[in-house]
Structure 1
Amino acid sequence: MSVPEPAHPPAPSARRVRPLWVALGFALTGLGFLGLLLPGLPGTVWFVLAAACFARGDERWEAWLLSRPVVGQLVQDFRSGAGMPLRAKWLACACIVVAVALSLGRIPVLVGQVAWALVGLAGVLYITLRVPTKRPNPA
């Protein structure tokens, strides 16, 4: 698969930063794959950020990431505004609730516990109210 060359070559200062974008893209891709394996760690957000980094660093790596099974579809759904499948929304919210509940006892200060619970609540509210629900395509 060939990726077209950019229409305008990058400025000299941008050329120096491109390897940093690619390195950050790989680090975020690694976190994304960990998120697919570990409960409580999101995967999609890291892949979306990795794709954005690759787009700034090297479009060939962005194309590579978007061509991965499952991962590419997740990023493309996010970019198009298609949202998350209902099952994924339920799973994400459940993971947030479990992670916050298990970690509250480790925070010694009440103010910290309340703040952490509010962060978890904000995540659940964002997923349920702001992220569109992707409807399955009728076959």
Structure 2
Amino acid sequence: MPRAVIRSADERNSCVIKWLFLTVGVIATGLGVIGIFLPLVPTTPFLLLAAACFARSSDRFHRWLVEHAHLGPMVRGYLEGTGIPRRAKTVAIVMVWLTVPPSAFLLVPMPWVRALLLVIATGVTIYLVRLPTAPADNH
């Protein structure tokens, strides 16, 4: 009769967390790919989320994403600390301000939630502006 493998609660929790990160990473990758084709869906933030999740769950998936011919360049500069392209920064900031205020004022009835959304949009904008900008590619 096969012997059952007994795992501690910590091992089970670790396994669940790993699968959770992997699942969120796969979903974020899918949303990032959709964002390539749909202008209102942000690509780079979803790919950065996927990279962070894969870094905590699967070396294989993380390596695949970072080395991918089309998706890799969108996250590599950020991960390496060399910056993100100026165009990506500009598009991200423009999309934040094209989507958050209309959503806040047209869909959210509570004033405090509207204010919170605007504060978050401001914080994201400040964060993006302060990120290093990758040098222009002159090829």
Task: Give the TM-score normalised by structure 1.
Answer: 0.75
Give the distance between the partners of 1:21 and 1:124, measured in 2 at CA.
26
Which blocks of at least 5 consecutive residues in structure 2 are unaligned? 1-9
Aligned to 1:13: 11
Q: Give aligned pairs, total.
A: 127
How has the CA–CA distance of structure 1 residues 45 and 16 changed in structure 2, closer, same or farther, with 3 Å as cutoff?
same
Give the distance between the partners of 2:79 and 2:112, measured in 1 at CA.
36
Aligned to 1:42: 42
Alignment of 1:30-109 (within 5 A): 30-103=30-103, 104-109=105-110
Give the distance between the partners of 1:42 and 1:134, measured in 2 at CA.
19
Aligned to 2:114: 113
Q: Which has the larger radius of gyration?
A: 2
Indicate whether 1:23 and 2:27 are aligned: no
How much does 1:138 deviate? 4.4
Give the distance between the partners of 2:22 and 2:110, measured in 1 at CA.
40
Give the distance between the partners of 1:58 and 1:111, measured in 2 at CA.
39
Q: Percent identity?
A: 31
How much does 1:35 deviate? 2.6
CA contact (8 A) 1:40 1:96 kept: no
Q: Match of 1:70, SS?
A: coil
Q: Match of 2:119, SS?
A: helix
Which blocks of at least 5 consecutive residues in structure 1 are unaligned? 1-11
Task: Give the TM-score normalised by structure 2.
Answer: 0.75
How has the CA–CA distance of structure 1 residues 102 and 60 changed in structure 2, closer, same or farther, with 3 Å as cutoff?
same
Give the distance between the partners of 1:58 and 1:95, measured in 2 at CA.
31
CA contact (8 A) 1:83 1:132 kept: yes
How has the CA–CA distance of structure 1 residues 110 and 132 changed in structure 2, closer, same or farther, with 3 Å as cutoff?
same
Aligned to 1:123: 124
Q: Match of 1:91, SS?
A: helix
Q: Deviations over 1:13-59 (max 9, x none)?
A: 28834444333321221122123233333222222222232233332
